[in-house]
Chain A
């Protein structure tokens, strides 16, 4: 009786279930698209040449956001300088050299933990080590180093994944032709894994570019009416600037807020799209 009941209704149950889960997905997706479209529409009218290339004035209530744009570019590049070579080298170690032993497991655990540490704790660490202990001051250097360590786990794990995807036969053939291990890695493996590594690097830098908490006490300037002169200067940055003008400055024109959000969003989304395109094109072109 029971089984009969179930078997007759289970297709109805399935239909209802599928409807319910589709609703869940729609409710998840709509805010994502909504957020992006909303900012694009609202911020679009604020964008002008003056806004993108001018300096803020009247207590940031007028003018442009050039120092924040340039600052975010500097911080992203600074992060890349430290985290890209270190991250790729660490990935090469894990994929090509490391044996499966306790130390390697400890390294993996450390990477997972680095990925989970709250961004504001990175800020505290950067303040303690780079700003105060090493006396770099609140500077582009200290902020970039802090962001680098935060970005490292993303780069290491995606690069390792890409390196491991290169078939073992490539290594065997290269070594059998007389190449050393490093020659094999630098001329064969890295070349094959490049798109995957690039995807990881861009996704990591995208996160660094959008972060605020790690740079709050390590390098972000509330207001700086000029461009930074050296790596020991503090700098304005887009995410921090958006935070400042949306919470700290009274009577801030809404247009400038939306415009700043739009520029930050476009900055980050462009990186995201580039990474996605590189990945899918590499997948399509892969011959092994």
Chain B
């Protein structure tokens, strides 16, 4: 019996270890399959046409610049919304709100994080886009701005939970010191607590932006999907098309193994690398990593 027990123990330990290592395997597999299907694009079309400003794959125009610029415009707009609202809410929850208020606000913000993006896109089409069209007197309400507003909302829960965690981990003594010196609560927040939590707040912003750039369904539904090169602030009020939306909208209709198919995988590869860079930088920003990891994800 002793022997069978130790055998069982051995096998279980190995299984558990393999499960732990599987995360590395999956990241590797994802990268491998993106490369496998995406790299042929580079031999089928040369780099200059990939960096062209026309995306019209039916006539072999596969310039991805309009898509990259579309993603950038929408994401930038989303960041402009998510950063003040996300950090403001985090400061309120962590520093100002009474306990009962915190107990209400935190689950509410989590709820926003759990809303399916397709539901937000649906409301974007039916409510937000018509409103913006009339309010701003635009020819169409399906614009980059509509996408930015909704994406900002989608990024807020990420920013709030990571930033709130960072604020929470600032030692209470810092605040007490400031109060003892006569600072008001407000002064303490701006001159002591927030600066002390700087790196964590930065991580929050980066992860929020990462969340926004990868969002697919909402932007596909509300940004109008016109692959036009965004050139300035004016693009915010016209239809754009992002990288994610392009993949989602076109992958279902291409022939497997065609140039178009490979280019779509190539775009996926670019997105993967962007998210890899954002997450590696964000996670290397030093601050108590253990508790944060949960927040990033939930």
Within 8 A of B (CB), among A88-135: 89-90, 92-94, 97-98, 103, 106-125, 127-129, 132-133
Q: Are B20 and A116 in contact (CB under 8 A)?
A: no
For residue B35, which residue of chain A has the nearest CB? A128
Q: Can you list, as one digit per residue, whether each of A196-219 has a CB less than 8 Å from chain B (1) or not (0)?
A: 000010010011011111001100
Within 8 A of A (CB), among B79-124: 84-85, 88-89, 91-92, 96, 105, 107-112, 114-123
Task: Please classify the interface of chain A as helix (H, G, I), strand (E, B), loop, or mixed, using the class held by over half of its residues.
Answer: helix
How many of chain A's residues have a CB under 8 angstroms from any CB in B?
A: 95
Q: How large is the interface on B (under 10, 10 to 19, 20 to 34, 35 or more residues)?
A: 35 or more
Contact A181 to B111, CB < 8 A, known contacts A97-B20, A107-B21? no
Is A161 in contact with chain B by the CB < 8 A criterion? Answer: yes
List A contacts of B153 (CB < 8 A).
Answer: 31
Task: Please classify the interface of chain B as helix (H, G, I), strand (E, B), loop, or mixed, using the class held by over half of its residues.
Answer: helix
Is A141 in contact with chain B by the CB < 8 A criterion? Answer: no
Is B186 in contact with chain A by the CB < 8 A criterion? Answer: yes
Is A22 in contact with chain B by the CB < 8 A criterion? Answer: yes
For residue A111, which residue of chain B has the nearest CB? B23
For residue A241, which residue of chain B has the nearest CB? B118
Is B60 in contact with chain A by the CB < 8 A criterion? Answer: no
Q: Kindly specify which of A46-54, A61-69, A167-175, A242-250 makes contact with the partner chain.
A: A242-250
Give the distance in Å from the alpha carbon of A27 to the alpha carbon of B119 in the complex. 20
Q: Kindly specify which of B51-59, B62-70, B231-239, B245-253 makes contact with the partner chain.
A: B245-253
Q: Which residue numbers of A lie inside 8 Å of B, CB to CB?
A: 7, 10-11, 13-14, 17-18, 21-22, 24-25, 27-29, 31-33, 35-36, 38-39, 86, 89-90, 92-94, 97-98, 103, 106-125, 127-129, 132-133, 149, 152-154, 156-158, 160-161, 164, 180-182, 200, 203, 206-207, 209-213, 216-217, 239-240, 242-243, 246-247, 254, 257, 261, 264-265, 268-269, 271-272, 276
Q: 8 closest Cβ contacts across the A-B interface?
A: A118-B214, A93-B20, A210-B116, A89-B19, A24-B88, A14-B186, A128-B33, A110-B23
